[in-house]
């Protein structure tokens, strides 16, 4: 299914406040950010290096699962996490995209903590 205007890059992003255990399943829709956006979003841009998003899909249901997390929030260390996503997102114009799969992330030591 095409996302955006075509020829664009889709970025999946999520923001989760981790508890003491760091692993577990989290609601893709709550808590809402300061501007009312969901923690899980898909944004499109004209290129991978563009900082300007041209499209936005927000979660309408689903979960983000963190199955493994190491050294997150430890200043001066690389952090690492992995898990899965199963969620439905919707754009302002009513278009929907389902996202399902696994993910992994490395946090640079300078940004961790």
Expressed as residue numbers, the domain containing 98 is 9-107
77: left (phi over 0), alpha (psi -120 to 50) or beta: beta
Residue 103 falls inside a structural domain: yes
Residue 3 falls inside a structural domain: no
Angle at Cα 17 formed by Cα 13 and Cα 21, nearest 5°?
Answer: 120
Residue 21 falls inside a structural domain: yes
Give the number of domains in the chain.
1
Residue 19 falls inside a structural domain: yes
CB 99 within 8 A of CB 12: yes
Confidence of residue 3 (pLDDT cuts 50, 70, 90): low
Residue 2 falls inside a structural domain: no
The residue to which tokens 């898990």 are assigned: 83
Question: In a 10 Å sphere around its CB, with 0-12 CB exposed, 13-18 middle and 19+ buried, how is residue 100 labelled?
Answer: exposed
CB 43 within 8 A of CB 8: no
pLDDT in tens, 19-47: 667 899 999 998 887 888 898 998 888 77
Picking from 54, 50, 17, 52, the residue whose alpha carbon sits closest to that of residue 32 is 17
pLDDT in tens, 86-107: 999 999 888 899 999 999 999 9
Residue 4 falls inside a structural domain: no
Cα separation, 21 vs 73, in Å, equals 12
pLDDT, mean over the chain: 85
């Amino acid at each position: 299914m095409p996302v955006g205007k075509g020829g664009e890059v889709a970025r999946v992003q999520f923001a989760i406040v981790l508890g003491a255990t760091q692993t577990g399943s989290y609601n893709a829709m709550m808590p809402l950010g300061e501007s009312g956006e969901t923690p899980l979003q898909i944004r499109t841009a004209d290129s991978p290096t563009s900082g300007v998003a041209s499209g936005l899909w927000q979660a309408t249901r689903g979960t983000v699962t963190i199955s493994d997390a190491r050294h997150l929030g430890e200043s001066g260390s690389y952090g690492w996490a992995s898990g899965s996503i199963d969620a439905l997102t919707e754009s302002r114009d009513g278009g929907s995209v389902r996202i399902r799969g696994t993910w992994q992330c490395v946090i640079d030591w300078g940004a961790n903590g």
